[in-house]
Amino acid sequence: EATAEAARILEGVVGENAPATTLAGIVQAQLRVLPPSAERQATLVRLARLMGDLDAPERGFQYLAEALHGDLENTTIEGQLEAIAAEHNYWEALAGLYEECSAHEDERIGARYVLKVATILEKNLGQAEEASSWYERHLATVPGSREAVEPLVAFYKESGDAASEARVLEAWIEISATREELPGLRMRLGILRMDQLGDVQGAIDALEGCLPDSAADAEFVRRLERLYIRGEHFPALVELYRAALQHAQSDKSRLEILAKMAQVYETRLDDATSARDTSRRMLALEPLNRFALTTLERIERAANDWDAVDEILAKKLEATPAEAARVRILIDRADVAMAHRTKPEEAIEH
């Protein structure tokens, strides 16, 4: 204590303009008797600054490390430590210091320093695999943490670990993704599950979360369409087409979507009524659309509605320029008139 008192007196004599070596010796003498306190913290930080003046970064780092142990989460001290690490490549030492801090009993404080260790390992030491384990530790404490999920997803993608990438993407989507990010992340998860994990239902679950907004995206519709077909989810497939139809920008696009809907209704859902209605919607857009006419002809033949069949054949005839094809249609009309409509005079005319 006498030495510390003498040091204080001496500092008053020599003043702040004394050489850094002299001031450092004086402040070190003052530090010896200081108990843990705000004054001790301030003295440690002052000593670190003096070590910088003396070009002694290692000792300055040590003083700041002690100061941080006494005042965890002090961002000013952390900033000074990180500046020394950047200038003198003390990243391993700083990672070690933050690892010590991560053992704090307060889980939140510990998680904060776990993240700092992970960041240093990844960005400053180039140890991606080691960093991933620290990011995972942080994620276990702070589920969905953006600071952890983004680098983890990138690491697992680079390393080809599709299952881990999907797991972290799920955490990102469920907890921390913004509204703007969700469609892209769900699309990414769906593609990952479909293309790399072979998880059809998991891919469907991910992509369905993008509806209805993503129904305007042709690539999205194509991928979900393929999944529904593989999983035989045909009612859902119809709803997908219905959503896509709302975003169609041209009659050509509308006709393509309606044709797919009609085909699913007829061949997969055995719903002739809906297939008929959908085909007629196509004809409202394009009165002589051959796909719609052929579908309707097949449906009406199955329903034994021969007047409707004849009406459709008449439209097919109107849409057919080739003479040989027209002859076949006329023969069909004659057969329908004779065999099913009991109109021999029309049969002869055809």
Query: What is the distance of C-alpha 324 from the center of its chain?
Result: 56
- Range from 15-24, 120-129, 219-228, 340-349 carrying the lowest mean pLDDT: 15-24
Tell me: pLDDT of 6 over 60: no
CB 53 within 8 A of CB 85: no
The answer on pLDDT for 36 being more than 90 is: no
What predicted TM-score, i.e. pTM, was given to this entire model? 0.72
Whether residue 9 has pLDDT greater than 70: no
pLDDT at residue 101, as a whole number: 96
Distance CA 196, CA 101 (A): 39
Structure tokens at 142: 């702070």
- d(CA 16, CA 5) in angstroms, rounded, equals 17
pLDDT at site 8: 59
DSSP secondary structure string, 253-279? HHHHHHHHHHHHHHHTS--HHHHHHHH
Please enumerate, as own/partner, the contacts of 164-170 that have beta carbons within 8 Å and a separation of 24 or more: 165/192, 166/192, 166/193, 166/197, 166/202, 168/139
Separation of alpha carbons 284 and 296, rounded Å: 13
Q: Do 314 and 300 meet the contact criterion of CB atoms below 8 Å apart?
A: no
Contacts 24+ apart (CB under 8 A), 312-317: 315/283, 315/287, 315/288, 316/290
Question: Per residue in 255-313, pLDDT tens?
Answer: 999 999 999 999 999 999 999 999 999 999 999 999 999 999 999 999 999 999 999 99
The pLDDT value recorded for residue 11 is: 54
- State whether residue 66 is helix, strand or coil: helix
The answer to whether residue 28 scores a pLDDT higher than 80 is no
CA end-to-end span of the chain, whole Å?
Answer: 124
- Give the helix ranges, DSSP H, for the chain: 2-14, 20-31, 38-53, 57-70, 75-88, 91-101, 107-119, 128-141, 146-159, 162-171, 182-195, 200-208, 218-231, 234-247, 251-267, 272-285, 290-302, 306-319, 323-339, 344-349
Instruction: Answer whether residue 160 shows pLDDT above 90.
Output: yes
The answer to whether the CB of 111 falls within 8 A of the CB of 141 is yes
- Return the pLDDT at 350: 83
Mean pLDDT, range 321-346, rounded to an integer? 89
Question: Looking at residue 17, what is its pLDDT?
Answer: 62
